[in-house]
Structure formats: C-alpha cells, structure tokens
Structure 1
C-alpha cells in the first residue's frame, strides 16, 4: 500500500444498511463528501446509470459536451469505472456537472472498441487497467503518475465498494446513517463483500456525530495488517 495515497468510502445508508429504498439528503451527503478534500471521486458505471435515470434521464448532447471543460483545478475529477461501456451516450451528463473537473474512465483490455471510439471522439481521458476487469492497484498508480491524484473518495455501490475493500485499498469508511428501516424493500446493501476469506474486518471509530434531521455521521479507520 502506498502510504501517500488516501482512499475514503462514503455512503448514505438506512439503519439496516441499504442505500436504496429511501429518500437521501443529497445536499448533506455531498457537503460531507466535499469536506474530505479529495482530488477525485471514484464511481461505478451502475451508480452513474442509476443516478442519471433517477434524476431525469440523459439530456441531449450538445457541442460543448464534446470538449474538455475549463474549470477550477481544485475541483475533483470523476473517475468512472466502466469496462462494459454501460455509460456510452450518457457521460456528458456527468461532464456537465459544475462541480466535476472532468471525467477519466477506467476500462480493461477487453472493453469493446465501440466504447473506446466513443470516448476518443469526445475527448474523454481513459486508462486501460487490467485484462478483464479493472486492476485498481494499477489504476491508482497510473492516476498518480499521470494526474498527480492521491486522495480518492469512493461514492458508489456494493460491487465497487466490495472490490476495493477486498483489495485492501480503502483507508477509511464514512457513513451517513438515515433514521429509517428499509427491510425487504431494499434492493442493495452498501457492501456485499469483505475479503476473499470472509473474515470479519476490524475498524477503529474516528468520529460519531449527530447531524440535523436525526442523521448520524460515522467514520471509521479500516484496520489493516501491518
């Protein structure tokens, strides 16, 4: 593990661990995310697709969407993990977000060339990291060497959360707990995998704070083998 790298996983969840099936205080979620002063936000393709569908669908692509935006260099990049090209035709919805510096897409050697051509035609940076799936150790190393990015926020779903936890790449976990139980109406929990051995993962409490609307912020350090 590169000790100069910092990775924090951030989710808003129900008391029973779901991040779907209830109303999320998005402004508070992003306010807390912004307080961590990270340089890039890593998001899975499923999260991108679900979010765009939830908030009005894919807008019309305009000419200005085809060029890199000129924005404050202090804004975070959005790192989109998409080896299957699920976000083809909708990445401009992310690029147009005013608090996103620009998009960098992580793909694999087996990603369809049609998606690669889509990225190239619209001036999206992309990194090929892995044969079948993204190798995140390689990805983080190249994001550092190519862009100087070392502080990452993971704002995604159970698959990507689980992969990064399994690979030992997450340093801290930030959870905003909503005062609601979802029960069987939940379609996804915030984490579906801990490690290859299914051993419990020890954590150290760093912060426990009551927020407005009976929300609770919990922040933990992930305890890793020395």
Structure 2
C-alpha cells in the first residue's frame, strides 16, 4: 500500500458527539483515560488532528504576529526538518493558523523528545508562516493548491516520513474528509454511556459543501470489548477481511 494504514481512534457520546458537555461529566474522566491508554497500545508512529483540535489541546489558541516585510518568497515545496523522528504529530492546517512555539508536542506523557510536528498546508499559506515553521524546525507538506487532497497528503506521509500506520483523531470534518476519500481502514471507538443531546455539537464524521460526492460507507465489526462503568470499545473495519 502506498499510504499508511489509517485507524480513526475517537471517543463519542451515545448520540455520536465528539465535543459537548458530556466531556465535563465526572464519569467521563475514566473513558478519556481508557481512550489514551488504547491510543498508546496501538503504537502508531504518527497521529493526525485538524486545526481546531490542535488549537484547543496543544497551542491553546496562541496567535502569531508575523511580519511579512523583508521575507523572500518561499517555493511551495515540502520541507523536512526531521525525517527520522521516532514519532510524528500531523497537524491539518490548510491556511497556516496554528501558533506553534516549539517543533514537537507530547500528547500523553511529558517525555523530553515528544512527537515531531508535521504541518499539512495548502499553497495559499503566507510566506511569513512558512518562514516561522522553518525557524522553529517544523516540517511541512503541501496537500494542494487551495484545498487539501488527502490522498496526496497520506501518500506523502508514507513516502517522505516512512509512516506505515496513522492514528486519525479528529475533528469531525477531518474525519469526514478522509472517510469520503476511502482512506479510513479501521475505526476504534470508545463509546461513553452518556447522551449529550446538544443539537449543534460536532459528530464523529462531518461533511461540508466541499465534499460533493460523499457516499455512505459500510463498516464491519472486528471486535467489541465492555469497559468498566458500562462503556464500550468497538472496533470496525471498512473492508471485509478475507
């Protein structure tokens, strides 16, 4: 396969929400811990999140004040700061908005090395932002001129960074984009036994106007495990095993 094996690993309420008040319930803390432990058990070399998820959990909304004066035009070519990192955090950030201050992050453990950041960009990103990434030593790849082609993105992750397995961890629109392009091989779902009920909360797979040909996708049960406090860990495949 010319791309990584992609596992969408998510935690949802009973009504399919990935954000909402249910996450603040005392009962949910156990399931978040279970989610993180299962994440580690997969031992994937890389994980991917969208801009909003990265901003909420890792850049904490930090904004950059970048000066565009005196910055030469930077060719829209992939930039590899670390090709042999032990692990990678892939940030889907088409317009270049994430306010990184370091070139690595750690999702669970406060280890010293962390996961080397790879930014996924379109060619519309400002030169000043590319310069900022280069100064920090953050790798970046281009996934399209003005919108992302995730087929191209994941192929680059394998060919450039030797990523064979990738955990996809939201948000809903990134999940929906990869699903619509047939790029999700497995779904790992932690089901929290709480209904959120909020009508505007983002769900597991979201679609937008840019996904013109979105079609239903069939899943096939791989395994199911009962967790403590009546939760479930459900694993599905998108293709039947022979």
Q: Using structure 1 for the length normalisation, give the TM-score.
A: 0.82
RMSD: 2.8
- Kindly provide the CA deviation profile for residues 72-101 of structure 1, in whole angstroms up to 9, marking residues without a partner as x: 82xx3101111112212x353x82424632
Q: How many angstroms apart in 2 are the aligned matches of 1:43 and 1:175?
A: 16
Structure 1 contact 46–86 (Cα < 8 Å) conserved: no
**Residue in 1 that maps onto 2:188:** 174
**Residue in 2 that maps onto 1:83:** 94
In structure 1, stretches of 5+ residues that fail to align are: 59-67
Structure 1 contact 81–106 (Cα < 8 Å) conserved: yes
**Residue in 2 that maps onto 1:164:** 178
In structure 2, stretches of 5+ residues that fail to align are: 63-80
User: Are 2:173 and 1:193 equivalent residues in the alignment?
Assistant: no
Q: Using structure 2 for the length normalisation, give the TM-score.
A: 0.77
Equivalent residue of 2:115, what SS?
coil
Change over 3 Å in CA distance of 1:193–1:105 after alignment to 2: same
Equivalent residue of 1:175, what SS?
strand
CA drift at 1:145:
1.7
Q: How many angstroms apart in 1 are the aligned matches of 2:101 and 2:32?
A: 20
Q: How many angstroms apart in 2 are the aligned matches of 1:189 and 1:147?
A: 30
1:44 is matched with which residue: 46, 50, 63? 50
Change over 3 Å in CA distance of 1:4–1:123 after alignment to 2: closer
User: Are 2:12 and 1:13 equivalent residues in the alignment?
Assistant: yes
**Residue in 2 that maps onto 1:62:** none
Q: How many angstroms apart in 2 are the aligned matches of 1:173 and 1:3?
A: 20
The equivalences for 1:77-116 within 5 A come to 77-88=88-99, 90=100, 92=102, 95-97=104-106, 98=110, 100-116=114-130
CA drift at 1:3:
6.7
- Kindly provide the CA deviation profile for residues 24-58 of structure 1, in whole angstroms up to 9, marking residues without a partner as x: 433211111122221110111111112247xx765
Structure 1 contact 20–186 (Cα < 8 Å) conserved: no
Equivalent residue of 1:184, what SS?
coil
CA drift at 1:166:
0.5
Equivalent residue of 1:152, what SS?
strand
Tell me the number of residue pairs that the alignment of Structure 1 and Structure 2 aligns.
209
User: Are 2:33 and 1:27 equivalent residues in the alignment?
Assistant: yes
**Residue in 2 that maps onto 1:202:** 218
**Residue in 2 that maps onto 1:144:** 158
Equivalent residue of 2:201, what SS?
coil
Q: How many angstroms apart in 2 are the aligned matches of 1:213 and 1:38?
A: 27
Equivalent residue of 1:26, what SS?
helix
CA drift at 1:18:
0.4
Change over 3 Å in CA distance of 1:148–1:26 after alignment to 2: same
User: Are 2:140 and 1:131 equivalent residues in the alignment?
Assistant: no
Equivalent residue of 1:169, what SS?
coil
